[in-house]
Chains A and B, each alone.
Chain A
Amino acid sequence: MIPGPFEYHRPTTIADAVKLLCDFGDDARPLAGGHSLIPMMKLRLATPSHLIDLQALEALKGIRREAESIVIGPMTTQHELLSSQIISKSLPILHEAALVIADPQVRYRGTIGGNIANGDPGNDMPALMMTLDATYRLVGTDETREVSVRDYYQGAYFTALEPGEIMTAITIPVPPVGHGYAYEKLKRKIGDYATAAAAVILTMSDGKVATCSIGLTNLSETALLAEDAAQLVIGTALDDATLKKASAAAEAIMSPAADGRGPVEYRKHVGGVMVARALKRAASVAV
């Protein structure tokens, strides 16, 4: 649990950071809160020769409202998300989800960017971002791209982020006032990745689901958007038969790995249970 040798860099501008990442290419890794990369380095599963610390980049921090969107700097910590009035008012599901990420110590250091950028399927925020239909701003030496979250995740630890690019902003459209939301996460203990988790954002009209989106955590190589399941519940009052169908539709797209959290069969089953429970709870808080 001792990392190999590396050079430490602490750029103060985005341009410098991008340049360092470009210059060193595959030998460099950006460092956000350090809660994914540092453990990997201690196990020597990651052995970057250059560590580009993003802590000094003030431009990557903060939460603000821009028209009908919330813009979050990727270096914003989970703790800052939890403390933000903007988040708890406009994106309460993020508040709820951040509370079930690891423990307070980790949340003081761990950032939302670190959680979403590297494509770790165990992390909670990617499924939230999918459910909320976020857009990531990626800055490279030559161009700045806005990439939809739904195009970002390509496989476990594979994303649309090109070598030499840094994520600089996360833009989330604000869901309608009175929307229902829930993040149901089953985990073995505090600090663990989800055995299965489901995020739901929905709106209700006359007791029936008007719009719905469902995201799934740690049930495949990437976070998933359960589109069929979401489609199935629209226009219904979430009766038991519909919930059952929605769970089954969600389970159909899951392909979790068997691990200490349980065999595949179990993880899919509880994935379905989380979907049904999140739908019900989201509907109960919608107005």
Chain B
Amino acid sequence: MNDITLTREEREAKLEGLGCRRKRVEDIRFTQGKGNYVDDLKLPGMLHGDFVRSPYAHARIKSINKDAALKVPGVLAVLTAEDLKGVNLAWMPTLAGDVQMVLADGKVLFQGQEVAFVVATDRYAADDGVVAVDVEYEALPVLIDPFKALEPDAPVLREDIKDKMDGAHGPRRHPNHIFEWTVGDKELTDAAFSKAEVAIKELISYQRVHPSPLETCQCVCSFDKIKGELTIWGTFQAPHVIRTVVALIAKLPEQKIHVISPDIGGGFGNKVGAYPGYICAAVASIVTGKPVKWVEDRIENLTATSFARDYHMTAEIAATKEGKVTALRVHVLADHGAFDACADPSKWPAGFFNIVTGSYDFPTAYVSVDGIYTNKAPGGVAYRCSFRVTEAAYCIERAMDILAQKLGMDPAELRMKNFIKPEQFPYHSALGWEYDSGDYQTALNKALETVKYEDLRKEQAAKREAFRRGETREIMGVGVCFFTEIVGAGPSKNCDILGIAMFDSCEIRLHPTGAGIARMGTKSQGQGHETTYAQIIASEIGIPAEDITVEEGNTDTAPYGLGTYGSRSTPVAGAAIATAARKIKAKAQMIAAYRLEVHEDDLEWDVDGFRVKGLPEKFMSMKDICWAAYNSVPPGMEPGLEAVSYYDPPNMTYPFGAYVCVMDIDVDTGVYKVRRFYALDDCGTRINPMIIEGQVHGGLTEAFAIAMGQEIRYDETGNVLTGSFMDFFLPTAMETPHWETDYTVTPSPHHPIGAKGVGESPNVGGVPAFSNAVNDAFSFLGSTHIQMPHDFWRNWQAAKRLGVTG
């Protein structure tokens, strides 16, 4: 019942709807160690699988001898490619239109590649079995440097397709070439460059990194021989897609496949793809008739499941002497590793890299991307970013700084001068996107004022003089970044995965007592969906958020959805929630009108129920409407109160932000100190400011890690040198800087509640902010660009190259 003693504000507060700093409901179980993860699952008779992996980056397999392994107590089976061929599963399709070996078929193409799958009664026996499998290899020449991939005498990696010169994305011009993808107007761009007053050109590399969620990739597969049904519990960011992939490649009826994603300990793009472990565990369960668990260890996660980036971008900007940009030209050499297993929408082999014009009004632009094979692990996932968006943002934000340096202009001023103006939205970019909304000037001005930008530049000038006089060994950098993201994939007209449009879905069912459940096609890996989705419903239909359960991850109960990655949950599923809620509200209005004995049009919505216009005492709360929906609906109306929405977004959303990083670097050791980091984000309507801040903190921490130290490094023979957290930089609380967050609000005009998504903005904007700070620190010594990661020794090396240290 509506409590009439409460004020309107109190009733609104009780809902904990949009804008409320509602505490995360999932944290009650997480902070008490009561989460339920894949590895918590223990089924009767469950077996354990583990991989024999290749020590070589490129080698022919002469033989595999299982005899000794099969004698290890507890070992039940050893699967190889030959065994999988019997069920036509030695290879599997990738999301990018390539095929990938499940188990090494004749040769291995990267260190850590899966060669055989040992199944045993416990995890220890499985590993003992792995050690006992005898594989004879014949080493082959190794290709690690992507710049050598297309040389005429480069070793041919993919013998399976060496003569197939038409790839999934057009013609290939070398056996190691995957695709060339171009966008924009080449002629117009070339012409702009030929008459440019000022131009810059720089090779800007974004190193190979890894999402490294704390929970690695894992699954339990259980095949019921009697029913012919396969149940898979797994760390899947997109459970429905996994179900469809399994149906297509295992030729099982889709209704007999049950995919369940329980609680997930971080994904960051690592858990979008399908990995050999899933296939092998499923086959092993079908063969043995018992549940089979596969849990990747840390080394396997870092070396074999999907990496991110490895983009080598040659960026050119043409401009006038006054600093007005006239053209952008970018060529990318994209190292995809041994198989093209990028997790991009199917028609986008380079993701949405054509957002590379950023926040600036480029009259023309041209981009070409060459994807190539090397002897490295496959992947190329969107590590806390929309598809290839962080690469694009890094490229343009570094290039703008380099242009500013060449023009002798302040980098913030150059950005301000070239921004897309508020009145230009919706803005059609030279590379084909329609930006929905933005107010860049306001955001950057707010950022510059807050950090007292002019004072920082004055301090920097003074410090540089002091450095020149030998009074200090520290140099100071101010990194400015203004990014525009493209998230919320995506409209069916241009986005699909394996032919399935990238809509998302929500099913809301309200119960008689005024509570309810919302089931979603997305899957949280820590984003807090159970909290925020309920807030949208609360504001839409006046049911308190705490009375709504949000459920995700079970393909039997959740409506079909494309999952959670690329900041798509709020832009797409969040819209589905609002539209489903509005369907409920429309029915509720009819019920209320019937019960209040007025015409529907005489009702108005008031926080948590309908009120008769002009008669404030005639009110029916949503809670009462729920009850009525189950016993006294208008004649001819079906009882119940539920709705489903499959939302196909009309456009992407374009969050943006202004970040400033202030850093000091000791030239004698290369040690840096992040003195200040300010992040202003505009993600449109803010659902839960506390969760936004948490997302920004996490994304900035990953950005810090990437810019300042993360790298999956190989030696020239293809050995992975960064296979553990000893060498792969994962910052702790001790290394992580303090974050200051701020915001402006520019709602998306096409999203039902105006929200744009935020989870990945801080990673997209953070990396260039850090890198620009380092580069800015060194710029007065004559440096234009220093490649990431900016770890201590590389900073020192830069200082040494510039002649200011030892």
Could you list which residues of chain A lie within 8 angstroms of chain B, going by C-beta atoms?
Answer: 1-5, 44, 103, 186, 188-193, 195, 259-263, 266-267, 269-270, 273
Contact = CB atoms under 8 A, between A and B. Distances in A.
Contacts, number: 67
B127 A2 contact: yes
Contacts of A186: 669, 671, 792
A5 B122 CA distance: 13
B793 A263 contact: yes
Interface centre among A260, A262, A273 (most CB of B within 10 A): A260
Contacts of B729: 188-189
B727 interface: yes
Nearest to A44: B131
Contact of B793 (A192, A261, A273): A261
A188 B793 CA distance: 10
Nearest to A42: B297
A188 B791 CA distance: 8
B667 to A, nearest CB: 11
B713 A2 contact: no
A99 to B, nearest CB: 12
A191 B732 CA distance: 9
B615 interface: no
A188 B670 CA distance: 11
B492 interface: no
Given A2-B124, A261-B793, A262-B792, A190 B669 contact: no
A266 B796 contact: yes
Nearest to A267: B793
Contacts of B797: 263, 266
Nearest to A43: B299
Contact of B731 (A3, A189, A269): A189
Nearest to B797: A266
A1 B796 contact: no
B735 interface: yes
Contact of A195 (B126, B722, B792): B792
Contacts of B671: 186
Nearest to B124: A2
Contacts of B1: none
Contacts of B709: 188-189
Contact of A1 (B128, B298, B669, B805): B298
A270 B297 contact: no
A235 to B, nearest CB: 26
B793 A262 contact: yes
A120 to B, nearest CB: 13
B668 A273 contact: yes
Nearest to A272: B806
B509 to A, nearest CB: 44
Nearest to A276: B668
B183 interface: no
B123 interface: yes
A190 B735 contact: yes
B803 to A, nearest CB: 14
Nearest to B733: A190
B689 to A, nearest CB: 31
B617 to A, nearest CB: 63
A190 B131 contact: no
Nearest to B726: A192
B25 interface: no
A269 B732 contact: no
A5 B128 contact: yes
Contacts of B298: 1
26 contacts: A1-B297, A1-B298, A1-B299, A2-B50, A2-B126, A2-B297, A4-B127, A4-B128, A5-B128, A103-B732, A186-B671, A188-B792, A189-B731, A189-B734, A190-B732, A190-B734, A190-B735, A195-B792, A259-B721, A260-B713, A260-B726, A262-B796, A263-B793, A263-B797, A269-B668, A270-B792
Nearest to A266: B793
A193 B724 CA distance: 14
Rank and list the top 8 A-B pairs by shortest CB-CB distance, nearest first. Answer: A262-B793, A2-B127, A1-B297, A260-B727, A266-B793, A190-B734, A190-B732, A189-B735
Interface string B646-673: 0000000000000000000000111100
A260 B714 CA distance: 11
A260 B734 contact: no
Interface residues of B, number: 32
Given A2-B297, A186-B792, 14 more contacts: A1-B297, A2-B124, A3-B124, A5-B124, A103-B732, A189-B732, A189-B735, A191-B732, A260-B721, A260-B726, A266-B793, A267-B793, A270-B669, A270-B796
The SS class assigned to the B binding surface is loop
A260 B732 contact: no
A263 B713 CA distance: 14
Contacts of B792: 186, 188, 195, 262, 270
A160 B123 CA distance: 38
Contacts of B670: 266, 270
Contacts of B727: 259-260
Given A4-B131, A260-B722, A269 B796 contact: yes
A91 B609 CA distance: 73
B701 to A, nearest CB: 13
A184 B731 CA distance: 21
Given A186-B669, A189-B732, A269-B806, A2 B123 contact: yes
B334 to A, nearest CB: 25
Contacts of A103: 732
Interface centre among B124, B668, B727, B806 (most CB of A within 10 A): B806
Contacts of B124: 2-3, 5
Contacts of A191: 732
Contacts of A261: 793
Contacts of B721: 259-260
A219 to B, nearest CB: 14
Interface centre among A189, A259, A267 (most CB of B within 10 A): A189
A136 B658 CA distance: 59
Contacts of A263: 793, 797
A239 to B, nearest CB: 16
Nearest to A189: B735
A273 B131 CA distance: 45
A115 B211 CA distance: 33
B472 to A, nearest CB: 15
Contacts of B123: 2
A191 B735 CA distance: 11
Interface in B698-754: 709, 713, 721-722, 726-727, 729, 731-732, 734-735
A259 B670 CA distance: 16
B802 to A, nearest CB: 15
A271 to B, nearest CB: 11
A191 B126 CA distance: 31
Nearest to A262: B793
Interface string B767-806: 0000000000000000000000001110011000000011
A267 B797 CA distance: 11
A261 to B, nearest CB: 7
A186 B672 CA distance: 12
Contacts of A260: 713, 721-722, 726-727
Contacts of A44: 131
A261 B727 CA distance: 8
A193 B709 CA distance: 16
A266 B709 CA distance: 16
A266 to B, nearest CB: 4
B244 to A, nearest CB: 33
Nearest to B732: A190
Interface in B94-143: 123-124, 126-128, 131
A3 to B, nearest CB: 8
A254 to B, nearest CB: 14
Nearest to A251: B806
Contacts of B126: 2
A103 B725 CA distance: 14
A2 B74 CA distance: 15
A4 B50 CA distance: 14
A117 to B, nearest CB: 21
A192 B732 CA distance: 11
